Structure 1
């Protein structure tokens, strides 16, 4: 029976899952792939729509009854956090309108922890690709962006008011837990799925040219050099294995969020 998999079309995900999706790993089942932005998968997973799914770490408190966190395939790292962008430098966000890419994204959870004493006036959830143009045109006072936007925001004439990754790392000393891979309980054996995905990551690194056409075809008009920057930043040691630092980062985020009343409490991973 084929397994359903949902990931984003971003280069890190297409690079990581190319071998698995294309049947290049012996002994793996057929995989039915769905591309969806993480704000979509966060809620789709809550409905149990996928067997394997990429979600935000911030969404885990609503999903861990039905899904198990896998220790491979996700997006964590250093120097890769969300940015708060504005048209002018040094904007005071108090009472302002901020565009965010999803209300259960890690980016938004980090923003809520960071902005606790800044009290933005209004939050608008909008598709990611509309955030930077919206800020540049003055429809939003600020925008919260992720992924490749950290390489391209200057093209829109925008300024980085805050790097939430730098803030998080300086405060915790831990990597930023962005995207997690979950396996649906009772449907997918987590040990088997971990091995499939780990092999897919290893194959991607061993032969990066094999996935190039697939990655570029789904890269949403990104230039090849931006695609490579994206992969280099988000596919790293934590993609292959979360390890203690990765699990500690997830614990720190979710325990802080629960203590602040922003998410339900979850049992620590460590």
Structure 2
């Protein structure tokens, strides 16, 4: 029986999951893949729609009753946080309209934590690949971007108003948790997909050229330098294993969000996350 998997079409996800998707992981079942924006997968996971699914860490408080958190395969690191972009150098967003890539994304949660003591802005959810063109065209005053936008925003004549990952790292000393891999409870024993995903990561690093065609077939930005920089930044040691520092980062993010009333409280969050 095939395993249903939902990931984004971004280079880091296709790079990580190439071996698993294409049947090169020993002992893993066939995989049926759905490619979707993270805002879509966050919502689908709340319905229990997939066996394995990539979601925002910010969405975990709504999902851990249905899913186990896998200790590998996701996106967490340093120097890779969301950027708030604009057409000038305005950091005062009072009365501004800001495009965000999803209301339960880590990017938006970081923005809400950062802006808690600042004048409020109007928020609109926009698919992340549409944000930069829309801000450049003047439809929004600012936009919150992720992924390869970090490397290409200058092409749209935009400036970085705030690097929210840099803000988070300076404030906490921890890496920024962006995207998590979940396994559906009652359907998938999390020990098995943990090994499958780790083997897929190992193969990706051992032979990066093997995934090249697959990665480029789904990448929104086809320029090889951008694709390689994207993979190099978002696929790192935390992808292979969250480790104590990775879990600490997730606990800090969700703890601060709950304390601010932005997400539900996870009681005994450390135990829930590490034994989820």
The range that moved more, 203-212 or 84-93, is 84-93
SS of alignment partner, residue 73 of structure 1: coil
**Matched residue, 2:153:** 153
Distance 2:26 2:130 in 1: 41
Distance 2:255 2:221 in 1: 37
**Matched residue, 2:270:** 269
TM-score (norm 1): 0.98
CA RMSD of aligned residues (A): 0.8
SS of alignment partner, residue 269 of structure 1: helix
| Alpha-carbon shift at residue 136 of structure 1 (Å) | 0.9
- Alignment pair present for 1:9 and 2:44: no
| Alpha-carbon shift at residue 117 of structure 1 (Å) | 1.6
| Alpha-carbon shift at residue 269 of structure 1 (Å) | 2.3
**Matched residue, 2:207:** 207
Distance 2:91 2:106 in 1: 23
| Alpha-carbon shift at residue 121 of structure 1 (Å) | 2.9
Give the conservation status (yes or no) of the 8 Å contact 1:17–1:200. yes
**Matched residue, 1:229:** 229
Distance 1:129 1:25 in 2: 31
Distance 1:79 1:208 in 2: 22
Give the conservation status (yes or no) of the 8 Å contact 1:97–1:120. no
**Matched residue, 1:31:** 31
Give the conservation status (yes or no) of the 8 Å contact 1:55–1:181. yes
| Alpha-carbon shift at residue 90 of structure 1 (Å) | 3.1
Distance 2:270 2:158 in 1: 38
Aligned positions, number: 270
Distance 2:188 2:57 in 1: 20
| Alpha-carbon shift at residue 65 of structure 1 (Å) | 0.4
**Matched residue, 1:66:** 66
Distance 1:222 1:263 in 2: 36
| Alpha-carbon shift at residue 215 of structure 1 (Å) | 0.3
| Alpha-carbon shift at residue 127 of structure 1 (Å) | 1.1
Give the conservation status (yes or no) of the 8 Å contact 2:91–2:162. no
Please identify runs of 4+ aligned residues in structure 1 that moved more than 6 A.
none
TM-score (norm 2): 0.96
**Matched residue, 2:76:** 76
Distance 2:94 2:109 in 1: 17
Unaligned regions of 5+ residues in structure 1, if any? Answer: none
**Matched residue, 1:55:** 55
Give the conservation status (yes or no) of the 8 Å contact 2:148–2:221. no
| Alpha-carbon shift at residue 92 of structure 1 (Å) | 1.2
CA-to-aligned-CA distance 1:120-179 (integer Å, 9 cap, x gap): 331000111111111111111110000100100000111100000000000000000000
Give the conservation status (yes or no) of the 8 Å contact 1:98–1:120. no
| Alpha-carbon shift at residue 32 of structure 1 (Å) | 0.6
Distance 2:137 2:208 in 1: 38
The range that moved more, 59-68 or 131-140, is 131-140
